[in-house]
Amino acid sequence: MQKANSQKEMDLIVEKLVYGGYGLARSQDKIIMVENAYPQEHVKVIPKKTGKNLMFAEVKEIIKPSTYRIQPNCNHFPTCGGCNWLDLKYEQQLIAKTNIVKEQTERIGKISNFYVKDIIGSEIICEYRNRMEYTFQFDQKNQEFKLGLMQNDSKNVVDLQKCLISPHIFNKIRNQTKDFFQKLNLEIYSDRKNRGVLKYLVLRKSFSFNQIMVIIVTHTEYLPFQKEITDFFRENFKIYSLIHLMNSSKNIVLRGPYKTLYGEGLIQEQFDNFKFQIPPTSFFQSNYNVTKKLLGYLLDYFKDRVSYSDTLLDLFSGVGLFSIYFSSLFKEIESIENSKVSYKAAIANSHINAIKNIRFYHDTVENFVNNSVDKKFDYIILDPPRKGISQNEINKISSIVKKAVVYVSCDPSTLLRDINAFLSNGLKLKVIQPFDMFPHSFHIENVAILEKNN
């Protein structure tokens, strides 16, 4: 892919939205991916990158806008990378996401004439996120201290004042934290120089108990002005936990050793009667409202099929959400998690909820399934990272499951790739149910259920 001649303007009609948030158009047998463009819009674009059959372009002028385009109530859109479709009516976002999953089911999954269910939406489409990761940056050119989200297709930070998808309290904390840290005059980490102190401000919220966790992420093992920083957050905000995380990773925000500066060192969430402790670095679904719907959907599936003698294997189990929530339906459950922090939290959560039929393993999924060829499980549920799982893992999972595999994924592309591999191993695709875990973005959560042909 080469940088295109930015002076070569093109008139296009956008056909549809595709995964990645782009509007797709065509010109002389070349596919054009257009930023911030919607179906049936007539746009004038400027090419940015071009290849043999594919081009990326940005809108210079909207000649005829879509009837579904609306005025976004955000001063930072579309420069900020936090949202993609903030100026598209929510009903059309849902239609577009359902169509994207259908298209990828045929194109990537190579499954034709399969009915993908309409996406299940979110009642809450603003202030829905329970975690936000803000980046510290010092703009050398403008001599400006920034704290915000990364700009689209750039390493520059957008200095936010208000974000519509984050809780109101997050905006208040971010704004006051920026002013406070600017006065402390701490050195901001430079990725280019691999030097500095401040990297990220991460905020997490429990929607069940209205608990707030503040995580200060630094490149250094020490946190200068630790007492002053602790006093600032303790006195100005009703926080539940304040964490200092020491992070040497250039790609992953919540990785590294941490210490609790104030509070419990975690937050708690509840689904029905089950309580979960969530440590600072553990993964947890970002939309509480839709996570409840996803759990309810799977509960309905299991209740109609599972007998008490059945067993469940929970892979990539995190803090034990699925294992614990579905524990009463199964005779035995085995729960596999590679993160030591999440593994310990899962054990603690089982004790909190008085669950005794789960065995927890601190292990990689690949290592566990490779060593489990002599053991069978009636059901297997997995919620892997965005990249999906390997062919070897798919082969092993297919060989040890007796009834069904439940695959939860936030990336339809890798999900459909893996589904295709499961089909080659003799499983049959029963359902794909999309969930809108991420309103105003192109991301789509999916539940796919594959049953064994017995």
CB-CB contact of 206 with 269 (8 Å): yes
Query: Considering its fold, how many domains does the chain have in total?
Result: 3
- CATH classification of the domain holding 366: 3.40.50.150
What is d(CA 325, CA 328) in angstroms, rounded to the nearest whole number? 8
CB-CB contact of 345 with 366 (8 Å): no
* Domain end residue (candidates: 218, 241, 271): 271
What pLDDT shows up at residue 251?
Answer: 85
| Residues 59, 136 within the same domain | no
Whether residue 92 is contained in a domain is answered as no
| Residues 326, 355 within the same domain | yes
- CATH classification of the domain holding 189: 2.40.50.1070
What pLDDT shows up at residue 453?
Answer: 81
CB-CB contact of 286 with 433 (8 Å): no
Catalytic pick among 74, 80, 163, 410: 410
CA dihedral 185→189→190→191, nearest 10 degrees, is -170
| Residues 215, 295 within the same domain | no
What is d(CA 330, CA 380) in angstroms, rounded to the nearest whole number? 12
pLDDT tens for each residue of the chain, 454 residues long:
666 665 688 999 999 999 999 999 998 889 999 999 999 999 999 998 888 889 999 999 999 999 999 999 999 999 998 999 999 999 999 999 999 999 999 999 999 989 999 999 999 999 999 999 999 999 888 889 999 999 987 889 999 989 999 999 999 999 999 999 999 999 999 988 889 999 999 999 999 999 999 999 999 999 999 999 999 999 999 999 999 999 988 889 999 999 999 999 999 999 999 999 999 999 999 999 999 999 999 999 999 899 999 999 999 999 999 999 999 999 999 999 999 999 999 999 999 999 999 999 999 999 999 988 789 999 999 999 999 999 999 999 999 999 999 999 999 999 999 999 999 999 999 999 999 999 999 999 999 999 998 6
What is d(CA 98, CA 409) in angstroms, rounded to the nearest whole number? 15
| Residues 324, 264 within the same domain | no
What is d(CA 300, CA 91) in angstroms, rounded to the nearest whole number? 26
Q: What is the DSSP-derived secondary structure letter of residue 186?
A: P
What is d(CA 223, CA 199) in angstroms, rounded to the nearest whole number? 12
| Measured CA angle at 433 (ends 124, 339), to 5 deg | 80
pTM for this structure?
Answer: 0.95
| Residues 41, 146 within the same domain | no
* Domain end residue (candidates: 271, 306, 325): 271
Q: Sign of the C-alpha dihedral, residues 128, 130, 131, 134?
A: positive
| Residues 301, 443 within the same domain | yes
Strands 211-218 and 241-246: parallel
* Domain end residue (candidates: 271, 297, 318): 271
| Residues 302, 365 within the same domain | yes
Whether residue 242 is contained in a domain is answered as yes
| Residues 257, 184 within the same domain | yes
| Residues 48, 107 within the same domain | no
Strands 54-64 and 10-13: unpaired
For the stretch 83-109, what's the b/e string if a residue is b when 16 or more beta carbons lie within 10 angstroms of its beta carbon?
bbbbbbebebbbbbbbbbbbbbbeebb
Whether residue 88 is contained in a domain is answered as no
Whether residue 324 is contained in a domain is answered as yes
For the stretch 160-191, what's the b/e string if a residue is b when 16 or more beta carbons lie within 10 angstroms of its beta carbon?
beebbbbbebbbebbeebbeebbeeebebbee
Whether residue 84 is contained in a domain is answered as no
| Residues 9, 146 within the same domain | no
Whether residue 86 is contained in a domain is answered as no
What is d(CA 94, CA 444) in angstroms, rounded to the nearest whole number? 10
Whether residue 113 is contained in a domain is answered as yes
Complete DSSP assignment for 210-228:
TEEEEEEEESSSS-TTHHH
Structural domain boundaries, residue 236: 131-271
| Residues 153, 193 within the same domain | yes
Strands 267-271 and 198-206: unpaired
Reply yes or no on whether 410 is catalytic: yes
| Residues 304, 228 within the same domain | no
Q: Which of 107, 106, 121, 103 is nearest to 16 (CA)?
A: 103
What pLDDT shows up at residue 403?
Answer: 97
What pLDDT shows up at residue 372?
Answer: 81
Whether residue 283 is contained in a domain is answered as no
